[in-house]
Amino acid sequence: MAHAQTTHPTSQETIAEFDRYVVPNYRRYPVSLVRGENSWIWDAEGRRYLDFFPGWGCNLLGHCPPRVVEAVRDQVGRLIHVPNTWYMEAQGEFARALSERSFGGQSFFCNSGAEANEAAIKLARAYGHPRGKFKILTMEGGFHGRTFAALTATAQPKYHEGFEPMVPGFVYMKYDDLEAVAAAIDDQTAAVMLEPIQGEGGVKIPSRNFLPGLRKLCDDRGALLILDEVQTGMGRTGSWFAYQHSGITPDVLTCAKALAGGIAAGVMIAKPEIAAVLKPGMHASTFGGNPIACRAGLATVETIEEEGLLARGAAIGERFRSQFEALQAEIPEKIREIRILGVMIGLDLTFDASDVVAQCLSRRLLINATHGHVVRLLPALTISDEQIDQGCAILADVLREAQH
């Protein structure tokens, strides 16, 4: 394995520059990362880490996937950006690829999951406006982004604090409670919006009848069903999109993170008859659907299909499950529940998980904690069995040693 270059500033030098010039709105670990390769990543001092949470889930194919790197290199030498007042080959091809792998919808491209969700909310409002429909029902514990409507859709008070008043017209429901939605949905409801699996909310997987039940409620009451697949999309759960496990299709779907193999990209996909509501000038994104992102997205789709990574994702999930079930049997007082679908993995602990993240970092394993007590892992579809076993051994030792 190649070693990191020695020409980088040290981690401390980079941290000092951040302290002086970068807005301190993130909690950062005291490490400057300089290079990545598949599930390995190196810091400025040349130390190597195993990454079980690459790019917050954006690096679904690992760090610097060769086909994506080559596509980007080729594209930047030909055309970097053109505005959406012109046609471009790559955007049309990528939209077709997504349509064929989802439900035949049309794509609006943007740069992030929050932007995609903003577009979905605006589309739902515009679609419902002639019939007086404006309410959006979302789920407690959900997360839809940091822009204002997406933040309001995020039914977690801690994210609203300091920004009130929020955007009117949102109603919050308990996740996986079909009866509550049935009681709340009315003639003013434009849409029900949710994640098919809550990611930031603790990797919560709903009961099998929840999505089919929501689909029927929306059909009966004339509301749109919007699925936020920003985190679950593009193969993370063992299918292209998580809704495909449920036997239903949404009216509108949003996706980002893994959409373009780590290049910034977001998309809203809508059924054509719904998408037609958005006329020129009603919504836009300057950089959305640029040639680089679309070529990277096409390379991501090709890599997943040609390397059989959807099936690999399911196998990876089962390998994690077998190891974690054995660990839970050993320390049941520390692991409350294991939640896994494909390479979307949550360990619900009986104690705060922040120390677990810090201890794993000290042993050069990168993981994430969410919802206070859930260890969240979003490993790459390209991770090897050996790397899974190595990382799980580190995490298991940390949990065994945890004093709780």
| Paired tokens of 32 | 């400057």
Rounded CA separation 404/400 (Å): 10
Rounded CA separation 236/238 (Å): 6
| Cβ atoms 277, 127 nearer than 8 A | yes
| Paired tokens of 370 | 């969410």
Residue 124 in marked binding region:
no
Residue 285 in marked binding region:
yes
Pairing of strands 368-370, 106-110: unpaired
Residue 148 in marked binding region:
no
% helix / strand / coil in the chain, to the nearest 5? 40, 20, 40
Residue 146 in marked binding region:
yes
Residue 219 in marked binding region:
no
Give the containing element (helix H, strand E) for 266: strand 266-270
| Cβ atoms 373, 350 nearer than 8 A | yes
Residue 306 in marked binding region:
no
For residue 75, report the phi and psi dihedrals to the nearest 5 degrees: -70, -40
Residue 195 in marked binding region:
no
Residue 348 in marked binding region:
no
Beta bridge partners of 204: 198
Q: For 185-214, b where at least 16 C-beta lie within 10 A, e where not — what string? A: beeebbbbbbbbbbbbbbbbbbeeebbebb
Residue 198 in marked binding region:
no
Rounded CA separation 144/230 (Å): 8
Residue 358 in marked binding region:
no
Which single residue is written with the structure tokens 């939605």? 181
Positions at the binding site: 113-114, 143, 146, 228-231, 285-286
Positions at the binding site for N(2)-acetyl-L-ornithine: 146, 285
Positions at the binding site for pyridoxal 5'-phosphate: 113-114, 143, 228-231, 286
